[in-house]
Amino acid sequence: MEFALWTEKYRPKTFAEIRGQQEIVKRVQALVEQRNIPHLLFTGPAGVGKTTLALVVCKSLFGESWRENLLELNASDERGIDVVRNKVKDFARTKAIGDVPFKIIYLDECDALTREAQQALRRTMESYAQTTRFILSANYASKIIDPIQSRCAVFRFKPLPQEELLPLIEKIIKEEHLKIDKSAEQALYEVCGGDCRKAENILQSCAAMSKTITAELIHAMASVARPKEVKEILETAIKGDFIAARKKLLDTMLRYGLSGHDMVKQIQKEIIQLTLEGRKKASLIEACGEIEFRISEGSDEFVQLEALLARFALL
């Protein structure tokens, strides 16, 4: 099987093909149909269609010459003030090819721009408004300075709901001649959390191993423990058997190659499913937040996870 990236292979080419974000797509399409757009700011989590929509805008406006009229910079490129002053300005000051009176500069993950670069960008957006439109993409709008946000039409993207993501998965399964059952589809959605790109990458990795996709294969490829296993660990701890819970926890982490952060997130999700009163659940979720912070500050993850299990055992 040719291992081409399915993310690119199945990327939508038109507005009608974009899954989810229907309100945003309608508003942006209306702007494009007028053959004129303001500066745009797309914010939201990864893998929900920000880059796809930006590319569809360019293709709809410029047709075959969209590559010549688009400058795309992403987080892997140099993102300092010199790039904004030189590369972006050089592209912005040249005239567009075709009947559209402006070019487009797409800055992916622009929340990674330094504050000084954002200040330079703010001035560039003003100076070249006649010949250039900017489409900015960011995971966190709070990291974009207010002057840039005020110059853009802001669109806030959401994670893809299950009813929007699963038809895309089923289309890929059909075209790639794979087999998948309902439990595996559900597991795939739970693992990717509404991130379409992550879902496609996991699915392609599974397809390289087997034409029949199972929930176990998805969890193994995604390096995520099955919810049932995490629940067993927590229930064992709550019963007071701390040693057995600790052993299960370490076995699960080693089997799936999980980090402390991954394990805390999965534990936090499973707390909601436990048969405990609300106050105890709230106390345990608070403990998860504290342990996650300690791990991020450099504490030993195994010691901290054992401390978290001790909280469950003390219930």
Average pLDDT, the chain: 87
pLDDT single digits (tens) 141-195: 889 999 999 999 999 999 988 888 888 888 889 988 889 888 888 889 888 888 8
Residue 306, domain member (yes or no): yes
Task: Give the range of the structural domain holding residue 54, as residue numbers without chain letter.
Answer: 21-156
Residue 6 domain flag:
no
Domain edge (last residue) among 136, 156, 176: 156
Q: Are both 48 and 149 inside the same structural domain?
A: yes
206 and 185 assigned to the same domain: yes
pLDDT in tens, 188-217: 988 888 888 889 889 888 988 888 999 888
**Is the domain of 187 the same as that of 232?**
no
Q: Between these two residues, 83 and 148, which has the higher pLDDT value? A: 148
Q: For the chain, how many structural domains are there in total? A: 3
Task: Take residue 294 and report the two structure tokens written for it.
Answer: 């300690």
201 lies in the same domain as 184: yes
Of residues 76 and 134, more confidence is placed in 134
For residue 79, name the pLDDT band (cuts at 50, 70, 90).
low
pLDDT tens per residue across span 56-67: 999 999 988 898
Please indicate, yes or no, whether residues 42 and 116 belong to a single structural domain of this protein.
yes
Last residue of a domain, one of 139, 156, 173: 156
Prediction pTM value:
0.80
Assess whether 299 and 209 both reside in one domain: no
Separation CA 81–CA 115 (nearest Å): 9
pLDDT for position 273: 85
- Per-residue pLDDT, averaged over 262-276, amounts to 89
Q: How far apart (Å, rounded) are the C-alpha atoms in residues 42 and 87?
A: 22
Is the same domain home to 25 and 148? yes
Distance CA 38, CA 134 (A): 8
**pLDDT band with cut points at 50, 70 and 90 for residue 222:** confident
Structure tokens at 289: 């937040």
In CATH, what number is assigned to the domain containing residue 176? 1.10.8.60
Amino acid 2: pLDDT: 47
Q: What CATH number corresponds to the domain at position 268?
A: 1.20.272.10
Do residues 103 and 132 make contact, with C-beta atoms less than 8 angstroms apart?
yes
**4 in a domain, yes or no?**
no
Question: Is residue 303's pLDDT more than 90?
Answer: yes
Cα distances from 157 to residues 129, 164, 190, 213, in angstroms, run 25, 14, 19, 29
Q: What is the mean pLDDT of residues 262-271?
A: 90
Mean pLDDT score, 31-52 = 91
Q: Which amino acid is at 104?
A: I
Whether the predicted pLDDT of 3 surpasses 60: no
Q: Output the pLDDT for position 128.
A: 86
Q: What is the percent of the chain with per-residue pLDDT over 90, rounded to a whole number?
A: 35
Helix, strand, coil shares of the chain as percentages rounded to 5?
60, 10, 30
Name the pLDDT band for 80 (thresholds 50, 70, 90).
Answer: low
Residue 208, judged by CB atoms within 10 A of its CB (0-12, 13-18, 19+), counts as exposed
For residues 100 and 141, give the distance between their C-alpha atoms in angstroms, rounded to a whole number. Answer: 29
| In the predicted structure, residue 134 carries a pLDDT above the cut 80 | yes
Angle of CA points 24, 28, 31, to nearest 5°: 150
